Amino acid sequence: MEEKFWLDKWERNDIGFHEEMGNPMLAKYFQKLSLARGSRLLLPLCGKTGDIAWLKSREYAIAGVELSEIAVQQLFEALGLTPRIKVINELKRYSAENIDVFVGDILALKAQVLGPVDAIYDRAALVALPEDMRSQYTQHLMAITKIAPQLLIAFEYEQSQLAGPPFSISSEQVFDYYLADYHLKMLGSRDIPGGLKGLVPAREVAWLLSRR
């Protein structure tokens, strides 16, 4: 999946994947991460998700990564925050109180630039990447976070009936990517009303990944 694909979507405002009110699976299962208030979470490929406002309202700190600067600008505007902006190597960091969002390719983000995180919330990253990119992404994610615990939200549907993204991620694939480093627990699932993009029956599945 080329960068241009996502950048063009934000340029056209073709963002049907955006959840302004946040994801209900986050509210339902977030407590499974057992995080203290003030803990810092990494949201890879975060866009301008309403999940960030939900987390900040509960006094959690945010580290996000997003390819589109348009998305990040709109995020800070929606939060009512004026960002401090700094160029760091290949990335640009937008910062305000308890939030840092890095603009650019997540694979260019180094651990020392990211800083410590207590957990990962991945609703939009793994499902956005085609199969040939996922192993590199998951290995990089674990490296820069020191295998931080994760709340992972994935889609399951018949991939042959609909071209991604978002892509279908089976239980077997989740195990392939993460079993060597994490204990995995399926927390629950929900059917997507009307199907994915209104075209194919699908469900969202929540996973808890705890470091071995």
Residues annotated in a binding site for S-adenosyl-L-methionine: 10, 45, 66, 123
User: Tokens 């020392």 label which residue?
Assistant: 112
User: Tokens 């699932």 label which residue?
Assistant: 189
d(CA 173, CA 59): 33
**In this structure, are residues 26 and 151 in contact, taking their beta carbons and an 8 Å threshold?**
yes
User: Tokens 């627990």 label which residue?
Assistant: 185
Q: Which two tokens stand for residue 36?
A: 């203290």
18 by DSSP, 3-state: which? coil
CB atoms under 10 Å from CB of 161, counted, come to: 13
37 by DSSP, 3-state: which? coil
* 25 backbone φψ class: left, alpha, beta (φ>0; ψ -120 to 50): alpha
- Binding residue ranges: 10, 45, 66, 123
d(CA 46, CA 52): 8
